């Protein structure tokens, strides 16, 4: 690996008109490579460009803390002075709300405006006022953008770069230069981008980041251009790739192979259009495949947790098939594979999933054989070795149910209930009673032309009759849709007996219509995801009627919640002494009109 050492600027000197804010203290813990290799995260700046992501300031602090846990070297927090929320983020970070152990906080901004001095430009001043010890300056490096978008001369653009970098360095900041549209510009005019880089380095910038802003590059082009630029300049180079050819990760790896020692990525590849280079895939590839220890100890094994937590903060469902960190990244479907995996997991995985904090999920499908069921049960903490007869029954049940439209692939909790029921009934010879038994439910949907102004004319109401704790309880609830009403009525009926169910939240609801065979009606499959105390589980229901399918999944969700944390077979299945029902909670946020 080549590292062109250009040295860090020395802090302290101050030029006239500047705002000298003491930068916060970075780097108490660092990767084995130290400053020789930078993992630079821009989830909070470039990643936040993705449609649908809106971070509050508190979210931004939580995101930065997670990235710091992982051990990245730099966290670009936003554009102070241009975005009020970013200005506030830096102010709160500086006031002590953000305590970074590994990372240095980075402010992002543009070079000064044409015709101004850097010291007079309020946007440059805001970068200093942010208190961030590091600044990434974005500069035009494609001469066509200078003339057509910036509407200034190529020479003035060079002066803007050099003046702004010198001003920031003079105020004790470390400066990285993002060369926007570098690759496209380099193909059009091989010299202009290099003159921009030279202006920055001469003024004190210590990394020149080559950006594939339009994301149109392929790995062999990136590698070639990075090699040429390195040979022609000797500058320390970084890489920033958008994913418009689905090559952002490959392009980043190619640039490192060609000598770049600074990689800019976003968590889970969040970013505008097709996204950015995914931090987790880049780090996984660099550390595991290329042997570069770019994170401190423990960082790699923390990837799954951090990836999922960041998805929650972005309010985006985690991509189950994401490389390295997806919950299915090491999943195997076929029964044939499963029996071999049991013998030697390494034969069927490109690495030991625990190295990145993942594990080897085994999907339960119509192809499930005995080995799949045993492995899946073990993953859930149930040993089936001593119950060979139960394994046979479970396999049969799974096969017949999946033929009828059930799917346990995404419904671990329903699968666990099935296994525990089979084990318990195998021991006792009788079906184990649930914690509550249904007598009946009824759902009414009404569309009233006489609804009050501002209220939806369509209302839903559900009545549930259940036996719980030796009592018969009847409850009625309204909801924004029939499933929501049913959920509220059921919880209301059982929460008096089981107050712990109050903390269970329904976090997602999915419906799929499965086509029927010739001459038969279609079937509805419902998946319900529930959560409590950071744990999430999914249950499934299947029926021709969407309400009944939903009911099944809702009941499984609550029964599973009652058994959670207890490895005992049959836990959560025993009714106790009755109390009166308490409050109703309206969950099912994802249910919409259901």
DSSP state of 297: T
Least distance (Å) from Zn ion to the CB of residue 160?
20
Size of the site for Zn ion (CB under 5 A): 1
What Å distances lie between residue 580 and 85, 251, 326, 461, 476, CA to CA?
A: 48, 62, 43, 21, 14
76 binds Zn ion (CB under 5 A): no
Give the span between the Cα atoms of 413 and 535, in whole angstroms: 12
Stretch that binds Zn ion, among 38-46, 187-195, 426-434, 574-582 (CB under 5 A): 38-46
What Å distances lie between residue 260 and 240, 254, 448, 469, CA to CA?
A: 10, 9, 66, 66
Nearer to Zn ion, 47 or 335 (CB): 47
Stretch that binds Zn ion, among 40-48, 406-414, 416-424, 438-446 (CB under 5 A): 40-48
Q: Which of 9, 44, 46, 143 binds Zn ion (CB under 5 A)?
A: 46
x/- letters, 482..501, toward Zn ion (CB under 5 A): --------------------
Sheet holding 458-468, edge to edge: 436-447, 458-468, 471-479
Stretch that binds Zn ion, among 42-50, 184-192, 337-345, 497-505 (CB under 5 A): 42-50
Nearer to Zn ion, 46 or 409 (CB): 46
Stretch that binds Zn ion, among 46-54, 198-206, 489-497, 539-547 (CB under 5 A): 46-54
The answer to whether 113 and 121 are in contact (CB under 8 A) is yes
Least distance (Å) from Zn ion to the CB of residue 243?
10
DSSP state of 22: P
Contact partners, residue 58, CB within 8 Å, separation at least 6: none
x/- letters, 243..282, toward Zn ion (CB under 5 A): ----------------------------------------
Nearer to Zn ion, 46 or 184 (CB): 46
What Å distances lie between residue 376 and 210, 380, 384, 461, 556, CA to CA?
A: 46, 6, 10, 39, 18
Give the span between the Cα atoms of 28 and 44, in whole angstroms: 22
Nearer to Zn ion, 211 or 527 (CB): 211
Stretch that binds Zn ion, among 45-53, 243-251, 311-319, 584-592 (CB under 5 A): 45-53
Residue nearest to Zn ion (CB): 46
Nearer to Zn ion, 42 or 552 (CB): 42
Instruction: Please report, in angstroms and rounded to a whole number, the separation of the first and last CA atoms in the chain.
Output: 57
Give the span between the Cα atoms of 99 and 65, in whole angstroms: 8
3-state DSSP assignment of residue 218: coil
Nearer to Zn ion, 46 or 76 (CB): 46
Give the span between the Cα atoms of 208 and 236, in whole angstroms: 6
Least distance (Å) from Zn ion to the CB of residue 47?
9
Nearer to Zn ion, 35 or 272 (CB): 272
Least distance (Å) from Zn ion to the CB of residue 264?
8
Nearer to Zn ion, 272 or 548 (CB): 272
| Footprint on this chain of Zn ion (rule: CB under 5 A) | 46
């Amino acid at each position: 690996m080549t590292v062109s050492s250009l040295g860090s600027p020395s802090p302290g000197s101050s030029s006239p008109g500047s705002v000298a804010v003491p930068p916060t203290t970075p780097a108490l813990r660092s990767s084995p490579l130290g400053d020789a290799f930078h993992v630079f995260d821009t989830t909070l700046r470039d990643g936040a460009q993705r449609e649908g992501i809106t971070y509050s300031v508190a979210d931004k602090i939580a995101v930065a803390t997670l990235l710091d846990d992982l051990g990245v070297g730099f966290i670009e927090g936003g554009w102070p002075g241009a975005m009020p929320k970013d200005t506030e983020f830096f102010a709160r970070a500086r006031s002590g709300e953000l305590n970074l152990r590994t990372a240095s906080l980075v402010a992002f901004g543009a070079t000064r405006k044409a015709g101004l001095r850097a010291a007079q430009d309020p946007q440059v001043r805001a970068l200093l006022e942010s208190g961030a010890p590091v600044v990434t300056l974005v500069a035009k490096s494609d001469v066509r953008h200078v003339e057509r978008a910036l509407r200034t001369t190529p020479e003035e653009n060079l002066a803007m770069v050099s003046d702004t970098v010198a001003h920031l360095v003079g105020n004790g900041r470390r400066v990285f230069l993002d060369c926007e549209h570098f690759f496209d510009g380099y193909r059009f005019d091989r010299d202009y981008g290099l003159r921009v880089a030279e202006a920055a380095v001469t003024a004190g910038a210590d990394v020149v980041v080559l950006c594939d802003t339009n994301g149109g590059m392929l790995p062999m082009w990136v590698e070639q251009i990075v090699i040429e630029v390195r040979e022609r300049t000797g500058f320390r180079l970084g890489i920033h790739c958008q994913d418009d050819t689905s090559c952002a990760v490959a392009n980043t790896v190619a640039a490192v192979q060609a000598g770049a020692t600074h990689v800019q990525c976003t968590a889970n590849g969040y970013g505008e259009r097709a996204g950015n280079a995914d931090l987790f895939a880049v780090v996984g590839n660099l550390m595991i495949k290329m042997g570069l220890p770019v994170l401190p100890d423990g960082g790699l094994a923390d990837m799954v947790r951090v990836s999922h937590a960041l998805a929650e903060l972005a309010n985006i469902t985690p991509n189950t098939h994401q490389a390295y960190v997806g919950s299915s990244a090491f999943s195997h479907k076929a029964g044939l594979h499963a029996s071999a995996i049991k013998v030697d997991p390494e034969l069927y995985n490109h690495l030991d999933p625990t190295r990145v904090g993942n594990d080897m999920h085994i999907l339960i499908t119509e192809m499930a054989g005995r080995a799949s069921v045993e492995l899946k049960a073990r993953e859930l903490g149930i040993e089936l070795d001593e119950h060979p007869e139960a394994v046979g029954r479970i396999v049969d049940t799974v096969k017949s149910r999946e033929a009828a439209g059930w799917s346990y692939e995404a419904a671990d909790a329903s699968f666990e209930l099935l296994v525990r029921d089979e084990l318990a009934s195998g021991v006792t010879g009788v079906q184990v009673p649930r914690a509550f038994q249904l007598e009946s439910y009824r759902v009414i949907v009404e569309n009233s032309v006489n609804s009050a102004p501002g209220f939806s004319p369509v209302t839903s109401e559900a009545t549930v009759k259940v036996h719980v704790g030796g009592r018969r309880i009847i409850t009625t609830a309204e909801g924004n849709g029939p499933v929501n009403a049913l959920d509220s009525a059921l919880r209301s009926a059982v929460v008096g007996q089981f107050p712990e169910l109050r903390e269970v939240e329904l976090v997602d609801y999915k419906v799929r219509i499965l086509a029927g065979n010739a001459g038969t009606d279609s079937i509805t499959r419902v998946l319900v995801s529930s959560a409590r105390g950071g744990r999430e589980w999914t249950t499934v229901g299947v029926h021709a009627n969407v309400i009944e399918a939903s009911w099944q999944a809702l009941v499984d969700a609550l029964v599973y919640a009652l058994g959670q944390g207890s490895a005992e077979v049959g836990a959560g299945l025993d009714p106790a002494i009755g109390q009166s029902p308490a409050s109703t909670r309206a969950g099912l946020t994802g249910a919409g009109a259901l």
